[in-house]
Amino acid sequence: MSKKTVLITGASRGIGKAILESFNNEYFIVGTGTSESSVQSILENINSMNIEGDSFKLDLGDRDSIKELTSLLDSKEIYPDILINNAGITRDNIMLRMQEDEWDNVIDVHLNGQYLLIKSFIKKMVKNRWGRIINISSTSAVLGNKGQANYAAAKAGIEAMSRSLARELGSRNINVNCVAPGFIETDMTKEISAGNEDFLASQIPLGRLGKPNEIAEVVNFLASDQANYITGQTIHVNGGLYM
């Protein structure tokens, strides 16, 4: 049987890197990063794991960069069977001070970028009558964190989009799900957690922040055949922060 191709956006660090590391050599892995050094570090990681794969540059905030990636993959006949939309950013500010570029940037990278990637890759999945789309959301989508109106709106949009897609694509054997992490120890949460670790932990029933691999394992499960009958769901992985 031929290897399934997995595309993971934002595979250079944090949760995306852990997702990449959760796959073995039964898969062909493609990871993206925003800079040459990120792309290089992903490739080194793939090589050190002795798995087949490749890495490419992608800026989801730039439509030309998305087009470049999709045509490059097309020219190399790399067609993702499993698309993991993980890359993300925050541009936190209370609404009174939120600048238009902070709003636009977050909506572009998360919602518009994912729309464009999904749209270009589902054609082949539909043709193959098999596919998996796993979108990384956030507890912010349901909790509505202060200072994160842009991010919460983008993530809630991703969850809603995923449910519509699950209905549209189910008959083609394409499953679409979200994983919504709580507070996970990555670069994204470094600033928020610095000096606040005890307070944050006190808000979480399991009493600690999560680790990237604790998200990756759920994503990997959703990509596996064990999850064949799961679609249109958002799986919350947050130590009980939201229930």
Contact present, 87 and 57 (Cβ < 8 Å): no
Asked if 73 interacts with ligand NAP (CB under 6 A), we say no
- Residue selected from 34, 55, 162, 175 as contacting ligand NAP according to rule CB under 6 A: 34
Using the rule CB under 6 A, is 89 a contact of ligand NAP? yes
Question: Counting contacts by CB under 6 A, is residue 188 touching ligand NAP?
Answer: yes
Residue 7 burial class via C-beta count within 10 angstroms: exposed 0-12, middle 13-18, buried 19 and up: buried
229 is catalytic: no
| HSE, side-chain direction, 13 A CA sphere, residue 207 | 0
**With binding defined as CB under 6 A, does residue 58 bind ligand NAP?**
yes
Tokens of 27: 């898969």
Candidates 14-22, 43-51, 163-171, 220-228; binding stretch for ligand NAP (CB under 6 A): 14-22
Contact status, residue 173 vs residue 216, Cβ threshold 8 Å: no
Angle CA(206)–CA(207)–CA(211) in degrees, nearest 5?
75
- Mark residues 125-144: x for contact with ligand NAP by CB under 6 A, - for none: -----------x-x------
From the list 79, 151, 229, 242, the catalytic residue is 151
Q: How far apart are CA 202 and CA 107, in angstroms?
A: 31
For residues 98 and 94, what is the distance between their CA atoms, to the nearest angstrom?
6
Considering CB under 6 A, how many residues would be counted as binding ligand NAP? Answer: 29
Residue selected from 55, 114, 186, 220 as contacting ligand NAP according to rule CB under 6 A:
186
The footprint of ligand NAP (CB under 6 A) covers: 9-10, 12-16, 33-35, 38, 58-61, 86-89, 109, 136, 138, 181, 183-184, 186-189
Q: Annotated catalytic sites, by residue?
A: 151
